[in-house]
Each structure stands twice: as structure tokens, then as C-alpha cells.
């Protein structure tokens, strides 16, 4: 099965169909965060550092780094942020920008094999980003929209993804280094947004055989109790083949849904990660607190072999 390897100088993360879901921390992004944007623009990266450490402590296996601030020198800021984050943690990074010059600046200082976020199906953008992916031996997020915009038809989005994978092959970039973003739309505005993504995920896994990611919080935008929606969406997306997401690991309700989905999908061997994260005291006391041992129909306890 397809595996995508992302690395820092000392740590490797593998995204794959039969592997635990990879949480890519979303917090280092000034979009919608006025204080962070103002601080980064002034050259103050204290909040970047604290956000990086907090997300890793919460379980993020990778971090997304974005420095998109209006009227700022984005290439310089992105390079600075990457260097800082790599000096305080060894998790691999996603270099996030819509500006090719910023992506280049980030790749130039990055130590390891980065994930470039992102390329779309627009011909001009592919011609600029894909050579960069090849030059730095990176992996890349392929967003399934093109010059025509974002289609509500998942089959159209699939064809855009196929176009990017085929064009990448022309540059010598293997499909294992392509992570497709099927584009998650707000469910409050588009009632079929979840079903569209689930259908597309199944095709991406079985036909293109590529790994996938998304901006997970998009699905719950504008709704109350957003974490419940986002967590449930991610659990369902995992069951349909999604292998990573750009998300916040700081919301325990969301993180717990992801880890539970890993257990039920068979991606958490012997439930080891779940137990290590959530067991309090362990042993019989933990089993009793959870409602005792497994039961047969009718409520009778089932015998579990030693």
C-alpha cells in the first residue's frame, strides 16, 4: 500500500493506508489570528514557538507552518519560522503558502524532506510548483480544484487530482509523494459536503492509490459545538480512507475521535496508543470505571480468555 515519507533532520513520519492517522498541527497560521500576525510581522516569534511546542506535546506528529500576512515579506517570515521551529522540535513540517517564492524560501532552509502545501490543478501553478517539489525531493499536497474553481461533483474533483498526479509523474515525482486534499467544504452551507468527500476518498484510495489530507476544521465552520462535528467527520473520513489532516490536536474531543477511529480501523496495534494516552490507573479499576468487561446480548458478562 502507498506510503508517503516526510522527515526532519532526525525524525521520519510515514503517512499510509494501514498506518495510524497523522495529525498535522494547524495553529502556526496567522490567518484569522490578528495577534499572531502582528507579532510575526514585527519579528516576534515567541507565540510561534509556544504554539509549536504545545501542539507537539498534544500529539501532533507534524506541524503546518504558514506566514501569509498582508503587506509582509512572506518568504523571509516563512523561512524564519521554519528555522525557529526546527530548532526547538524535531517533528517534520508542512511548508504552507500560495506564493511560490515563499515555498522556495522555506524549502531552501528546511532540514529534511518537507511537505509542500500546496499545488492546484491550474496549469500555470503546476508548472511553477512541481519543479520545486522535484528540486527539493519533497512531497506535495495536491488540492483538487483548477481554473474552473471547486466543483460540487466529487468525480470532477477526482479528475483534477488525477491530472495533478499525472503531471507530477512527468517531472519524475512518484504518486507516493502526492497527498491529495479533496477539499472539505462547510457542512452548514453545503449539506452534502461530507458525503462528497467520503465518496472522493474511496476513489482516491482504490483508484489513484494516493494518501490524503484536508483542513479538517472547515467542515464545522459556522456551527455550534464545532469540535463534535469536526471529530465525527474525521472518524468517518478515516473509515473512508483519509490518512492525515491539518487540524488542532489541542481540542481533546477531536483528538479522541481520531484515536478511537484508529483503534476501530485496526491502525492502532493492540490499542497501544489509545491505552498509553487515556488509561488512568489501568488494571481492573480502569475496566470497572469503563463499565466492566465485555457483555453478551442480554447484559451477561462474556468470558475473556487470559
Question: Is 34 or 283 the better-scoring residue by pLDDT?
Answer: 34
Q: What is the pLDDT of residues 75-130, one digit of tens each?
A: 999 999 999 999 999 999 999 999 999 999 999 999 999 999 999 999 999 999 99
Closest CA to 230 of 241, 243, 214: 214
Residue 272 inside a domain? The answer is no
Mean pLDDT within 145-166: 97
CA angle 72, 78, 84 (to 5 degrees): 125
Spell out the alpha helix ranges (H) of 43-149: 46-57, 74-88, 100-109, 123-136
Closest CA to 197 of 212, 186, 182: 182
5 Cβ contact list (under 8 Å, min separation 6): 12, 13, 14, 15, 113, 139
Residue 275 inside a domain? The answer is no
Cα distance between residue 104 and residue 129, in whole Å: 9
Residue 183 inside a domain? The answer is yes
CATH of the domain at 27: 3.20.20.20
Residue 180 inside a domain? The answer is yes
Count of structural domains, the chain: 1
Residue 144 inside a domain? The answer is yes
Mean pLDDT within 272-293: 63
Q: What is the pLDDT of residues 173-210, one digit of tens each?
A: 999 999 999 999 999 999 999 999 999 999 999 999 99
Residue 127 inside a domain? The answer is yes
Torsion of CA 221, 225, 230, 233, to 10 degrees: -110
Residue 114 inside a domain? The answer is yes
Please, which residues bridge with residue 6 across strands? 13
Q: What is the pLDDT of residues 124-151, one digit of tens each?
A: 999 999 999 999 999 999 999 999 999 9
Residue 291 inside a domain? The answer is no
Whole-model pTM over 0.85: yes
Q: Which domain holds residue 117?
A: 3-267
From start to end of 131-194, where are the E strands?
139-143, 178-181
Residue 281 has pLDDT above 80, yes or no: no
Query: What is the predicted pLDDT for the residue at 280?
Result: 75
Query: What is the predicted pLDDT for the residue at 294?
Result: 52
Residue 303 has pLDDT above 60, yes or no: no
Amino acid at each position: 500500500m502507498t506510503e508517503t515519507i516526510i522527515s526532519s533532520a532526525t525524525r521520519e513520519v510515514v503517512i499510509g493506508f494501514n498506518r495510524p492517522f497523522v495529525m498535522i498541527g494547524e495553529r502556526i497560521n496567522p490567518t484569522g489570528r490578528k495577534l499572531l500576525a502582528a507579532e510575526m510581522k514585527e519579528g516576534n516569534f515567541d507565540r510561534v514557538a509556544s504554539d509549536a511546542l504545545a501542539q507537539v506535546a498534544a500529539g501532533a506528529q507534524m506541524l503546518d507552518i504558514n506566514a501569509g500576512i498582508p503587506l509582509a515579506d512572506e518568504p523571509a517570515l516563512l523561512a524564519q519560522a521554519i528555522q525557529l521551529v526546527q530548532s526547538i522540535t524535531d517533528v517534520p513540517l508542512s511548508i504552507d503558502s500560495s506564493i511560490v517564492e515563499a515555498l522556495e524560501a522555506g524549502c531552501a532552509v528546511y532540514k529534511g524532506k518537507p511537505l509542500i502545501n500546496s499545488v492546484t490543478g491550474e496549469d500555470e501553478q503546476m508548472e511553477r510548483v512541481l519543479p520545486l517539489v522535484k528540486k527539493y525531493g519533497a512531497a506535495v499536497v495536491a488540492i483538487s480544484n483548477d481554473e474552473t474553481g471547486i466543483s460540487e461533483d466529487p468525480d470532477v474533483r477526482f479528475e483534477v487530482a488525477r491530472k495533478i498526479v499525472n503531471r507530477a509523474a512527468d517531472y519524475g515525482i512518484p504518486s507516493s509523494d502526492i497527498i491529495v486534499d479533496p477539499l472539505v467544504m462547510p457542512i452548514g452551507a453545503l449539506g452534502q459536503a461530507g458525503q462528497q468527500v467520503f465518496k472522493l476518498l474511496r476513489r482516491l484510495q482504490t483508484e489513484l492509490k494516493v494518501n490524503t489530507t484536508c483542513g479538517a476544521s472547515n467542515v464545522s465552520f459556522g456551527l455550534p459545538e464545532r469540535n463534535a462535528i469536526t471529530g465525527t467527520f474525521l472518524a468517518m473520513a478515516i473509515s473512508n480512507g483519509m490518512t492525515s489532516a491539518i487540524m488542532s490536536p489541542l481540542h481533546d474531543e477531536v483528538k479522541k475521535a481520531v484515536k478511537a477511529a484508529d483503534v476501530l480501523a485496526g491502525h492502532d496495534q493492540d490499542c497501544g496508543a489509545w491505552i498509553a494516552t487515556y488509561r488512568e490507573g489501568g488494571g481492573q479499576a480502569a475496566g470497572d470505571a469503563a463499565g466492566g468487561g465485555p457483555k453478551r446480548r442480554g447484559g451477561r458478562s462474556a468470558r475473556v480468555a487470559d
